[in-house]
Structure 1
Amino acid sequence: MNLKLGLFLLITLRTIPLFASAPDTVRLYYKIAEFELSACNQKKLDSLCKSFKGVDNLHITGFADYLGTGPDNAVLSQKRAEIVAAYIKSHINLVVAADWKAVEMSTAKKGPLGDPFNRRVDIVINKIVHTKVVAQPQLPPPQFTDKIAHLSNIEVGGSLALEELTFQSARHFLNPECEANLKILLSYLKQHDNIRFEIQGHICCDNGPDGMDIDSRDYKLSVNRAKFIYDYFVKNGIDAKRMTYKGLASTKPKVYPELTDHDKYLNRRVELLITGK
């Protein structure tokens, strides 16, 4: 390969946009045995349809809790998913897949009122986003190094928000541009081995108790994000006795209300809570 051709390929790789799917999840909740759209859910869908810019497709899943028999819940799940799919299709031309394989969610605590969280419909939104292949990772801004330098000064019970460590939508993996920051944090914690801490995972959007992780296929997204950082630290030499991890779902957003995609980006993060020195 001659020099001119090599330079051409390098420039091309740095500039060609690639397409990737970045899913978000919106949830609609229902009363016992309800499958028709409530006024509240209808309003939520109207707002959602107006925001479908750059959306590729939707996947809709109906859920039922443990109340009723298996066949009844199958029908209930199907009706919930079908009605939502039909409503969206009547408002916008979009590929919509509805899954009504009855998902009768189990729960340890059973009572006559059922489980409100599992009486719902999940709308998974797949957006087309543009990313770029970069030959070499960008160096992290010096502000992050300065920021974590104050970790040793934070008193026990205080925390540090790390919006420089953000995660891919609906996944527990870091955004590629944040990986260098994680290495800097690792190096600092190795040098200050007196610091004990809790890793707290967060998600964007109002997703109830927690969000769905499309990689592990469970509803522990914020927990999985915190554990991802925990496992990385253990693998790279941080004593597991120094740290714990916890998921806080969307209970403590960095940005509220979330008006833009960037607001959601900042809320998909971790924080460090200082637990001892």
Structure 2
Amino acid sequence: MKFLTALLFCLTASCVFAQEQVSFFFDSNKFVLKNTELSKLNQWLSSNKEVKIVGVYGFCDEEGTIGYNDTLAKKRIDYVFNTIKGKVKIREDFKTRSFGKLHTLSPIKAENRKVTLFYILPKDFVNEEKIIEEKKEGIAEKKKPSIKFPDTYAYENPNGTVVTIKIDTVFMKKVSTANVGEKLKLENMNFFTDTFAIMPQSRSVMYELLTVMKNVPDLKIQIQGHICCVQKDFRDLSTQRAKAIYKFLEFNGIEKSRMTFVGFASTKPLYPLPEKNEAEREANRRVEIEIIAN
């Protein structure tokens, strides 16, 4: 199980270095192959007993949420892996990756609901390492250009006065380089007691997030609200606070398709409830962003 878990996230080079590939297609929202595709997989196994698997991709179409599709793609990988293991050679360090909503490759949805196996033929085993290394050098991912973020932000008050504030370039750099799935706390994001009104001293945090969203057009986030102290969020403050940030970004030109918001109330505390002190309460009472695409 640990081995399989380790395989789920990381196909960078190995799978695409394979000289051959074969795909098996799934029905919408299913992670078990229908009989015709399962028969196709078994026939392929019977005819290719001597090949070596060097990588696996799992794909989904664009329907459903990003998180749902990512999970579904992983389940499809698990299903195919469990079907082929013990029946064909598998490179010990081969890696896999799931591609959900963010990685649709074809405008035809059915063509994206698949798992693709990458493999090499017996005649190429002797050159396996050389093939993989050469391919790795040939398709190495381009590094993202370094972004120079401004350290100030100027905005206009309702009365027409232009205000310039200091913003944190370190935070913006951290967000711009964060990995998909990584969560970052919006430090010093404070609200008036029992409301979703943002305190003036938190304004710089808002503009830092806005600035990085404007400068990294591929960045997609989920804004996540959390509260402290109580088991029930009767006023849904965690959601309303996350929504307040979402609406700020929307108002300032960030497309809705690049962000979502959710409130977790006190269901995901960093410290167990009831908290022992104010430091623990402050830690639980937070807003985070999760990187959905970057």
TM exceeds 0.5?
no
Instruction: Please identify which structure carries the higher strand content.
Output: 1
Q: Whose Rg is larger?
A: 2
- TM-score normalised to structure 1 length: 0.43
TM-score by length of 2: 0.40
